[in-house]
Amino acid sequence: MKPLLEVNNLSISLKKQGIPIVEGVSFQLKKGQILGMIGESGSGKSMTCRGILGLLDTHRFSLSGTASFQGQNLFQLTPKEMQMLRGEKITMVMQNPMTAFDPVCKVGRQMLETLRSHRKLSKVSAMKSIKAELERLGLADTQRIMDSYPYELSGGMLQRIMIALALLLSPELIIADEATTALDVRTQGAILEEFSKIREAGIAMIIVTHNFGVLAKLADEVVVLKDGGIVERGDVFEIFDKPTQGYTKKLLQASNLRKEISNA
Amino acid sequence: MLAKKIMRNPQAVVGLILILLIFLMAVLAPILAPNDPNEVDITRKFLRASSEYPLGTDQLGRCVLTRLLYGARCSLCLAVPILVILASVGTFLGMMGAWIGGLFDRILSIVCDIFMAFPPLVVVLALVGMLGQGAVNLVISIIFSMWVWFVKVIRSYVLMEKSKDYVLASKIAGCSSAKILMGHILPNIFPFMIVYFSTSISSIILMISGYSFLGLGLGNDTAERGAMLNSAKQYLYSNPNLIVYPGICILLTTAGFNLFGEALRDIFSLEED
Amino acid sequence: MLEVRHITKQYTVKNQRKGENVFTSVDDISLKLKPDSSYALIGESGSGKSTLAMMMAAVLPPTHGEILMDGKDIWKLTPKERRRLRGDLQLVLQNSKGALDPRKTVYQSIEEPLKNLCQLSREEQQRTIYEIVEKVQLEKSLLTRKPNELSGGQQSRVCIARAMCLSPKFVIFDESVSGLDVTVQKKVLDLLLELRKEFHGTYLFITHDIDVALYMSDHIFVMKEGHLLDEVQNALSYDAFQHPYSRELIASLPPKSPHYRL
């Protein structure tokens, strides 16, 4: 089977200073698969995702390599085609949901506008599907949520709304960039539950995180990034059970605080 | 570091050069000027430009270039003290209001709102009408109509800074209120204050000239550009140059401070990123 | 001993639609911190844990209740006496980047509490700063840098150094490691454990991460919506928690390994 997304030798560098940020990153993603990208801040994991999605300012960054999605070369699309693709086939959930919403516009209206700009739906039926999706995600009080401004809702709630919106567009691929990093344990747990439901729906995901727990819960494949390059890749069980690289071991050890207590 | 950034910003450089030129004109006026600014000689009125009078003479036979050079003195000698007074009042009250808060701040805000409700021109008209024409009265009335803006602006800068975590952290580190205000908040809002002061000085200069032109400020006998404009307006058709020269001078002076201030604002906002 | 007695903090929220609203951030909390021991406090965002920390650190006055430090109510002291007390009572803030004055060098930032709270000669001051900088594992070359030239881990070390240079009796760490990478977080936590062995103070670690809490202490408080729900002594593993809310928090932790995936 052909992979859904194939990234080959992707490199990103700052144009002006010529500083490389991402160097020679390659990976494949099959339909319905979840790829975990883990690394410390500055390892280039977010930049890789943004590069693939064409979200980088081409005046500041230069890209090389290829990225093909369903056989289409992403780097050869016009900005308009890319924008359509971003809404319909690939959606993104970001770290800070607060900045993703317009602060002076009610949440419901923003969802409606986004949905209708990508799907030909009447207002009534769009509204219906939004409500159904929110309810499915465990947000019962839908009417109140739709009538609220972003600042009146908590970060966890906004993140869930972002995910609902991402799902409503029924994409082939969802990229979650540190989507649970800023959240409490309980909200993170709820959102991870949501993500595992997405997996059951056959949607592929790329999960960017620095938390191994998130990968343990969700990922099929894992790539470990350091300083813009991939240091280790493999099946999630292999990475957890038999990491080969010192860096991966170090990361795993640091993320498992509790283990050391029971040893001590 | 900052000096380098200023030098790399063409707008700031142009502004700075203009400001320096104006200060040079003011300081060196007695050396540069070919004639006495107040020497009246009716027989030599409306002369064309010559080596003795590089820009000609006005309706009373006074040298126009000399009067323009001394005009720079006049503008700066009034505008700088006004700015110093406004800046100190604004900084003191603005900081106090924002820092103490509570009832003091509320009363201060109400007073500011009352003052802001009157247009500056009305305040100046009333004050000059009461006190009479003259430099001191002009200074008093400009201060009277502008101080609230300085208080409001600086108060909002302090409020913005006060909510930042490092202020709380310095409190935990045992700093007294005075130490936090002078040692932490003031240095951090200083760049913004400089920007505001720089653009304000140009509006003060414009106000002085404007009121003098309207006959509310300095008398027509002083070498002030607004006053020069006022007396030249009757000769608009016969001798338009008498209006053009002081006009250009006013334009360049205010443009210098404005350009510099705006460029500084850009530089500082870039620094924030 | 730091003792919190029935402390409450209420805010009046003015809402244009609904009029005035009283919001209780911390509701009738009492707890005791014994000398030379370490504690942890778990709470989600909005649980009032930062508010509690600020009241205990004598920077935010409580609405009701009292906080006794060695028997004296810190909120009944004069502002000057309270300032003097900060030498023994320090709070390390959550946002270490924001907690440093952007225009001061690292040296100036660490020097500030010493200047304010200790009567030291210039040489002693300098020696103390060099000592503490070495203890928190910061390079000396960083002392002349400004905060925005430091990494997140370095910034939080500077904040820790700033509090620890006073060798205070009580230190409250409010989410001091959240937002750091796992490797950096581990290093900072280990550093704090070492510092505690050396300085023998009472530490209270406030966090939303149960793993961090368990790693740092075996006496753990659990807070939710302004209430203290659970207090666990000898907490060595998740099993020590009995309260349903604590269990809920533990249940929502992601698994430690893909083998435990449900």
pLDDT tens digits along C210-235: 889 999 998 999 999 999 999 999 88
Domain coordinates in residue numbering, chain A: 5-263
**pLDDT exceeding 70 applies to what percent of chain C?**
98
User: C42's torsion region: left (phi>0), alpha (psi -120 to 50) or beta?
Assistant: beta
C153: confidence class by pLDDT, cuts 50, 70, 90 = confident
Residue B52 domain-assigned? yes
Domains and CATH numbers, chain C: 36-63+72-88+169-254 (3.40.50.300), 101-167 (no CATH)
What's at B66, amino acid-wise?
T
Q: Chain A residues with CB inside 8 Å of C252's CB?
A: 185-186, 188-190
Of C185, C211, C252, nearest to A258 by CB-CB distance is C211
- The pLDDT value recorded for residue A263 is 40
Q: Chain C residues with CB inside 8 Å of A213's CB?
A: 253-256
Of C152, C248, C258, nearest to A236 by CB-CB distance is C258
Residue B58 domain-assigned? yes
What is the DSSP-derived secondary structure letter of residue C255? P
Q: Give the closest-approach CA distance of C256 to chain A in angstroms.
A: 6
Q: Where are the beta strands (DSSP E) in A90-240?
A: 90-93, 173-177, 204-209, 221-226, 229-235
C95/B165 Cβ within 8 A: yes
- The pLDDT value recorded for residue B217 is 76
For C76-93, how does the pLDDT look when each residue is reduced to its tens digit (9 = 90+)? 999 889 998 999 999 999
Residue B2 domain-assigned? no
How far apart CA A12 and CA A18 sit, in angstroms, is 10
- The pLDDT value recorded for residue C61 is 92
Mean pLDDT, chain C, whole residue set: 89
Residue B5 domain-assigned? no
Q: Residue B167: which of B155, B179, B157 has the closest Cα? A: B179
A154/C215 Cβ within 8 A: no
C258/A258 Cβ within 8 A: no
Q: Chain C residues with CB inside 8 Å of B188's CB?
A: 101-103
Which chain A residues touch C if contact means CB-CB below 8 Å? 40-41, 154-155, 184-190, 192, 210-217, 219, 236-237, 240-241, 250-251, 253-262
Residues 6+ apart with CB under 8 A from B150: B86, B87, B89, B90, B91, B94, B196, B200
Q: Residue A38: which of A230, A224, A248, A236 has the closest Cα? A: A224
Number of domains in chain B: 1
Which H, E and C letters describe chain B, residue by residue? CHHHHHHHCHHHHHHHHHHHHHHHHHHHHHHHCCCCCCCCCHHHCCCCCCCCCCCCECCCCCEHHHHHHHHHHHHHHHHHHHHHHHHHHHHHHHHHHHHHCHHHHHHHHHHHHHHHHCCHHHHHHHHHHHHCCCHHHHHHHHHHHHHHHHHHHHHHHHHHHHCCHHHHHHHHCCCCHHHHHHHHHHHHHHHHHHHHHHHHHHHHHHHHHHHHHCCCCCCCCCCCHHHHHHHHHHHCCCCCHHHHHHHHHHHHHHHHHHHHHHHHHHHHHHHHC
Pair A12, A74: CB distance under 8 Å: no
> pLDDT tens per residue, chain B (273 residues)?
778 888 888 999 999 999 999 999 888 888 888 888 888 888 878 878 887 888 888 888 888 888 888 888 888 888 999 999 999 999 999 999 999 988 999 999 999 999 888 887 888 888 888 888 778 888 888 898 889 999 999 999 999 999 999 999 999 999 999 999 999 999 999 989 999 999 999 999 998 888 888 887 777 777 888 888 888 888 888 888 888 888 999 999 999 999 999 898 888 876 655
Model's pTM, two decimal places? Answer: 0.83
Of B164, B166, B174, nearest to C86 by CB-CB distance is B174
User: How many C-beta atoms surround the C-beta of residue A195 within 10 A?
Assistant: 21
Please check whether residue C22 touches A, CB under 8 A. Answer: no
Q: Chain C residues with CB inside 8 Å of B165's CB?
A: 93, 95, 98-99
- The pLDDT value recorded for residue B270 is 65
- The pLDDT value recorded for residue A1 is 67
- The pLDDT value recorded for residue C259 is 82
Of B166, B168, B174, nearest to C117 by CB-CB distance is B174
- State the residue range of the domain holding B166: 10-272
Which residue of B lies nearest to C56 if distances are taken between CA atoms? B172
As beta bridge partners, residue C23 has C11
CATH code: domain of residue B249: 1.10.3720.10
SS3 label, residue C136: coil
Q: Which residue is listed with tokens 């032109």?
A: B213
B173/C112 Cβ within 8 A: yes
Q: Give the closest-approach CA distance of C123 to chain B in angstroms.
A: 20
Q: Residue C38: which of C190, C183, C219 has the closest Cα? A: C219
Q: Chain A residues with CB inside 8 Å of C183's CB?
A: 40, 250-251, 254
What's at A37, amino acid-wise?
M
What is the DSSP-derived secondary structure letter of residue A58? T
Q: Residue C255: which of A181, A225, A188 has the closest Cα? A: A188
How far apart CA B71 and CA B217 sit, in angstroms, is 14
Q: Give the closest-approach CA distance of C203 to chain A in angstroms.
A: 18
Which chain B residues touch C if contact means CB-CB below 8 Å? 164-166, 168-176, 179, 184, 187-188
Q: Which residue is listed with tokens 């040692």?
A: B183
Q: Give the closest-approach CA distance of C117 to chain A in angstroms.
A: 36
Structure tokens belonging to residue C121: 């000669």
Pair B83, B200: CB distance under 8 Å: yes
May I ask the CATH architecture of the domain A5-263?
Answer: 3-Layer(aba) Sandwich (3.40)
- The pLDDT value recorded for residue A264 is 38
- The pLDDT value recorded for residue B271 is 64
Residue B83 domain-assigned? yes
Structure tokens belonging to residue B162: 């006060």
Q: What is the mean pLDDT of residues C199-204?
A: 90
Please identify every stretch of chain A with a pLDDT value under 50, giving residue numbers as ranges. Answer: 259-264
- The pLDDT value recorded for residue B72 is 87
Residues 6+ apart with CB under 8 A from C1: C32, C33, C34, C35, C68, C69, C70, C71
Q: What ipTM, to 2 d.p.?
A: 0.89
CB-side neighbour CA atoms (13 Å) of B28: 9
- The pLDDT value recorded for residue C18 is 63
- The pLDDT value recorded for residue C151 is 87
